[in-house]
Amino acid sequence: MAKVFITGSADGLGRMAAQLLVKQGHSVVLHGRDEARARDALKAVPGAHTALSGNLSDIKETVNLAEKANRLGHFDAVIHNAAIGYREPKRSANADGLPEVFAVNSLAPYILTCLIDKPHRLIYLSSGLHRQSAGGLDDLDWKKRKWDGYTAYADSKVHDVILAFAVARKWKDVYANALEPGWVATKMGGPSAPDSLEDAPKTQAWLAVSNDPGALVTGKYFYHMQQSPFNPIAKDVQAQDKFLLECQRFSGITFPQ
């Protein structure tokens, strides 16, 4: 039995992955952005161990969430699932002055990776849209560029792959991988999304707990349990280091060596 923490598991793919893992007999800790959402998560996933709350658009709350997670003991795997979409007509800043899509999708996974006691496996959810990003590493907080929600989202999803591959390079004792679940009919994906919703949570669950040789790898990118092409910027060591340093600058948290 593995112990797995899944961010953003009150609904959507996070909840589906949690349900799948609980059905397989694993101990799952859920997450919602506030207490009400955490309660909703527990109701939706009978058999889950517990649910934690924390608003990932807020740096202090994200730090507090990591502390709550650590109080529950060591995790075998953490699935960084939480994300917000790209339909923001203007730059929506959080309490820290950062665009919310960057704060939730990019910076929060960095903070939690740094502060949650190192698990055996780390899984980061990206999107096929990440291939359309140039990285946006020179203006992560969108203070120079004209706001474009679609590009901001695509940037955030390449950041998740960059982070996964940076972790794989720096932490040799951890399996760190990224994946795209496909364009599926979740709240974010919309009702006309063409990919299989049933298959969408399987890869992250598989990477979190499976002893299949295909899952026991690191620094890889997956789609439906198969390694898949990714934006080459993610393997660029200079891009990785720059992203880590920028996240350190915004959060005040240094990546543990």
Among 110, 124, 157, 220, which one carries the catalytic annotation?
157
Q: Give me the phi and psi of 91, to 5 degrees please.
A: -65, 110
What's the CATH number where 132 sits?
A: 3.40.50.720
Is 157 in the active site?
Answer: yes
Tell me if 159 sits within 8 A of 246, measured CB to CB.
no
With tokens 């600058």, the residue in question is 249
CA 146 to chain centre: 26
Residue 256 lies in a domain: no
Among 153, 175, 221, 223, which one carries the catalytic annotation?
153
Which range marks the domain in which residue 98 is found?
3-251
Tokens for 67, please give them. 């502390």
Residue 216 lies in a domain: yes
Overall domain count for the chain = 1
Tokens for 32, please give them. 């919602």
Residue 121 lies in a domain: yes
pLDDT of residue 241: 98
How far, CA to CA in Å, does 10 sit from each of 44, 128, 207, 222? 7, 23, 20, 24
Nearest Cα residue to 105 out of 165, 138, 149, 52: 149
Mean pLDDT of the chain: 93
Residue 99 lies in a domain: yes
User: Is 80 exceeded by the pLDDT of residue 112?
Assistant: yes
pLDDT of residue 187: 56
Is 146 in the active site?
Answer: no
pTM score over 0.75 = yes
